[in-house]
Amino acid sequence: MSKTKIKAEQTSLLEEIKQPEPVIPGEIPIEEMPLNCLADYLKYNKRARALNKSLGIRRHRIKQCPVEMHPKQRVMFNRKDQPANPLPVFVSNEMIEFEQTLIPGQVYDLPLCIIDYLAQKGTPLWDWFDNPDGSRETRKTGIDPRFALRTIYQG
């Protein structure tokens, strides 16, 4: 390939990156959006995804809401599989970055998304079912949970 073709490809890529963002009248620019609560972070991330898709490049990164801003619930944590061993929990996704070691029998104020994450963990239960045509198949009937998360109410 000649040098002129390489330079032409580079300039077109730079022009594509430098293209202006679409401006919608009446909306706050994404750089000036307030990030004071969980709802603000969700709105920011939704707009960042839409702008990145319309631009065709990843210009705005997704921001995780700090753990302190997430709604919390007081729960007592227990394990069914290893009742005496502590559990290191590390969850990093678009909503939260959470890292903590949970000791069975202790009471914790955990974010709701972490409680949902832990409640989904378990062993699937399967059973045989008879179909109307006479054949048999296995289907998932439920889940045997690994963790017991009991809600603690304070009066």
Using one digit for the tens of pLDDT, what is the confidence trace for 11-40?
A: 565 565 555 555 565 677 877 788 888 888
Looking at the fold, whether 19 and 42 belong to one and the same domain comes out as: yes
Percentage of the chain with pLDDT > 90? 52
Domain that holds residue 132: 67-151
In a domain, 82, yes or no: yes
> Number of folded domains in the chain?
2
Residues 45 and 119 placed together within one structural domain of the fold = no
Is the domain of 76 the same as that of 104?
Answer: yes
Mean pLDDT of the chain: 85
Task: Tell me the DSSP string of the chain.
Answer: --HHHHHHHHHHHHHHHHPPPPP-TTS--GGG----SHHHHHHHHHHHHHHHHHHTS--S---PPPGGGS-EEEEEEEESSSTTS-EEEEEESSS-EEEEEEPTT-EEEEEHHHHHHHHH-EEEEEEEEE-TTS-EEEEEEEEEESEEEEE----
pLDDT tens for 113-152 read 999 999 999 999 999 999 999 999 999 999 999 999 999 9
Please check the confidence at residue 8 and state whether its pLDDT lies above 80: no
Query: What is the model's pLDDT at position 154?
Result: 79
Residue 93 confidence (pLDDT)? 87
Residue with the bigger pLDDT between 103 and 23: it is 103
Indicate whether 81 and 124 sit together in one domain. yes
Would you state the pLDDT for residue 91?
Answer: 94
Residue 61 within a domain? no
Given 14, 29, 55, which residue is the final one in a domain? 55
Q: Are residues 38 and 74 in the same domain?
A: no
pLDDT at 13: 57
**Confidence at 107, pLDDT banded by 50, 70, 90:** very high
Residue 93 lies in a domain: yes
Give yes or no: residues 10 and 79 share one domain: no
Task: Please indicate, yes or no, whether residues 122 and 71 belong to a single structural domain of this protein.
Answer: yes
